[in-house]
Amino acid sequence: MDANKNEQANSLEMAPFVKRKRLEPDEVNFSNHCLRNLSLYFSQYCDSTSIHGIKYVGQRGRYLLEKLLWLVIVIGVFTICSILIHKTYRKWQTSPVIVTFSTTEKPISDIPFPAVTICPEAKFNPEIFNFTDILLKRILNESISEEECCLVRFQWFAIVCSTYRIQKTSIKLGNYSNFLSTADVIRFQALPPLDPHHMTTIKWLGKELPILDEVSLTFTSEGICYTFNMLPYDEVLRDADDYVTQSAKTQKRTRKWSLDEGYPPGDYLGSYPRRTFLSGLEGGLVIDALHTNHSHLDYICDESLQGFKVVLHHPCELPNMEKHFRLPLDEALFVGIKPKMITISEDLIGYKPEDRKCYFGNEKFLSLYKYYTQENCLSECLANYTLQQCGCLAFYMPTTTSTETCGLGSIECVKNSKINYLENETYSEVGHGRCNCLPSCTSLSYDVETSQTRWDWRKAFEVLHRAGLSEFLPDEKGSHYSRIHVYYKDLQFLSSERNELYGYVDFFSNVGGLLGLFIGLSVTSCIEILYFLTLRLVCNIRKYGRHVWSGEPDLINSKDE
């Protein structure tokens, strides 16, 4: 009795591995032949493949429960693998670029020295036009002579006066035009002279330079300012005729310098924009004895803050006076520069600008500027938005000959347009704003560290005069002098570089690693699948016929019998 039970148990255990009865040809129709061939062919693939777990799904002689269990395991593992691959793909698509520090330091001689723009707070010469006096007379309803009351002059000075409260007060005092002529020479006639006593000097690398040749007049939101080392207007703007005729022309031209390529090899001291090879005070710029006449000090505009506003900017960009720092009267200011440069790896040249998050110089056209930088793009975008909203442009904005310049009547519209524009750009994604102003792939900016000290120039000039080294003895009560030093703090600086975070090789390596880790899938496994679906199938049909195309010996033998 026990022997029979043991025999039955052994027969049950061996049942999955016992060969089934061979089918006779007359017992199987064509449909059954196809299903049988397909099942046997799939079993052959499962026995041959290197994909983990598949062999147990198609192995002959296994219970259905075993096959279902392994099928669930394979599907579950493949699902987890697919989720991780999707996350890798998303990371590759959304963050293909990473900004890292360069492996080597870059010398300061490879980059241009920054352009230095200086704007005096004393914007008006009261001997020509006393804006404060006329404004007070208009507020108090006092009589004004015809010579004093020049609406064009008053509009211009009210616009330049950066205190919005004064501008609104000026608007209420009369009906002023919405437009102003940019060719009005009154702008320059009322500007206080830069060097009335021939004492202001510019030293570059320790060598004194002629100030009139090195400094050009620049249009800014603060009025007319003085700039050193900026490219001429006709090299920065596409339509610069109006600016060139009104500002001092510099004779220097760039010598094959570009934003992307930099300076050509071998072009040293004669290159422009100027560059230096030395750090420290001796390797930079010194503007000495900047003069301010005490009688020119204004106590209405700019909230009675006196001195100068200074901006360091790229030579191919117009100065943005919102990024200024101050040079007080009767003080010496020391400005240490730390360059901030971002370059790009050659591996990213083939990427779309939206993927690499930057533009090369020839990829985005600006209608107003010749050089593409993010600052120039934003400036042009603001100008276009202001023109659309107000029908004119602020006097300091780049323009064309056919565009009107906003007068005092449009000043509120100009300010509101700027606020609305900044709000729209702030709440839009980077690169998806109104103008899509991505950074330049090769960008350069300058971080500054400032320190200042009191300059007792009165004693200094007195000693020089007594020693016979200077014939000039300034009026101590009627004059103010300031000095500024601009220099690099170090000979080298560490730039940054845009590199591939996930290139094609990295992406496929990560995908291959995940597939290999979870299911053992490789390129050879994929070729194996294609082989079973194409070449092996065709060869089996040619070799064994359509009824036994699986090539299974059981079917072949049953057909022969």
DSSP letter string over 459-520? HHHHHHHHTTS-S----TTTEEEEEEEEEES-SEE--EEEEESS-HHHHHHHHHHHHHHHT-
Q: Residue 82 is part of which domain span?
A: 24-94+503-538+551-560
Residue 369 is classified by DSSP as: B
Q: Is residue 55 assigned to a domain?
A: yes
Q: How far apart are the first and last CA of the chain?
A: 41
User: Distance from CA of residue 319 to its chain's centroid?
Assistant: 17
pLDDT of residue 177: 61
And the tokens for 483? Answer: 């000095």
Amino acid 318 reads L
Q: Whole-angstrom Cα distance, residue 122 to residue 306? A: 7
Distances (CA, A) of 5 to 10, 13, 15, 16, 90: 9, 12, 15, 19, 61
Q: Whole-angstrom Cα distance, residue 250 to residue 260? A: 24
And the tokens for 552? Answer: 């299974």
pLDDT of residue 21: 45
Residue whose structure tokens are 């601009």: 486
Q: Whole-angstrom Cα distance, residue 165 to residue 412? A: 11
Q: Is residue 527 assigned to a domain?
A: yes
* Whether the model pTM is above 0.85: no
Q: Is residue 180 within 8 Å of residue 407, measured between CB atoms?
A: yes
> Which of these, 487, 205, 115, 118, lies nearest to 337 by C-alpha position?
487
pLDDT of residue 482: 94
Peptide bond into 273 cis (omega under 30): yes
> Which of these, 79, 77, 78, 57, lies nearest to 68 by C-alpha position?
57
> Which of these, 130, 437, 69, 488, lies nearest to 284 by C-alpha position?
488
SS3 content of the chain, % helix, strand, coil (to 5): 40, 20, 40
Peptide bond into 264 cis (omega under 30): no
Q: Is residue 338 within 8 Å of residue 239, measured between CB atoms?
A: no
Q: Is residue 87 assigned to a domain?
A: yes
Q: Whole-angstrom Cα distance, residue 92 to residue 112? A: 35
Q: Is residue 68 assigned to a domain?
A: yes
Question: Exposure pattern of 148-174 as b/e (b: 16+ CB <10 Å)?
Answer: eeeeebbbbbbbbbbeeebbebbbebe
- Indicate the pairing of strand 496-500 with strand 331-344: parallel
Cβ neighbours around 391 below 10 Å, total = 14
- 418 by DSSP, 3-state: which? helix
Number of domains in the chain: 1
Residues of the chain scoring pLDDT < 70 = 1-32, 145-152, 162-190, 241-256, 267-269, 401, 425-434, 469-474, 476, 554-561
> Which of these, 135, 133, 181, 40, lies nearest to 553 by C-alpha position?
40
pLDDT of residue 335: 98
And the tokens for 297? Answer: 């000090």
Residue 21 is classified by DSSP as: P
Q: Is residue 469 assigned to a domain?
A: no
Q: Whole-angstrom Cα distance, residue 191 to residue 225? A: 9
Residue whose structure tokens are 């062999």: 55
Q: Is residue 519 assigned to a domain?
A: yes
Q: Whole-angstrom Cα distance, residue 286 to residue 486? A: 6
Q: Whole-angstrom Cα distance, residue 463 to residue 472? A: 11
Amino acid 256 reads K
Residue whose structure tokens are 């750090």: 279
- Rg, C-alpha atoms of the chain: 40
Q: Is residue 279 assigned to a domain?
A: no
457-462: long-range contacts at Cβ-Cβ below 8 A with a sequence spacing of 24 or more? 457/289, 457/330, 457/481, 457/483
57 forms bridges with which residues in the sheet? none
And the tokens for 391? Answer: 């029908």
Q: Whole-angstrom Cα distance, residue 401 to residue 398? A: 10
- 440 by DSSP, 3-state: which? strand
Complete DSSP assignment for 251-302: ----SS-BTTTBSPTT--TT-SS---S--SGGGSEEEEEEEEEGGG--SSGG
Distances (CA, A) of 460 to 337, 469, 472: 28, 11, 12
Query: Residue 312: phi, psi to the nearest 5?
Result: -105, 125
pLDDT of residue 172: 54
Q: Is residue 522 assigned to a domain?
A: yes
Query: Residue 297: phi, psi to the nearest 5?
Result: -65, 135
And the tokens for 492? Answer: 């080298």
Burial of 34 (0-12, 13-18, 19+ CB in 10 A): middle
- Within 104-150, residue ranges assigned H as helices are 131-139
| Residues whose CB falls within 8 Å of the CB of residue 76, separated by 6 or more in sequence, listed in order | none
Q: Whole-angstrom Cα distance, residue 37 to residue 177? A: 92
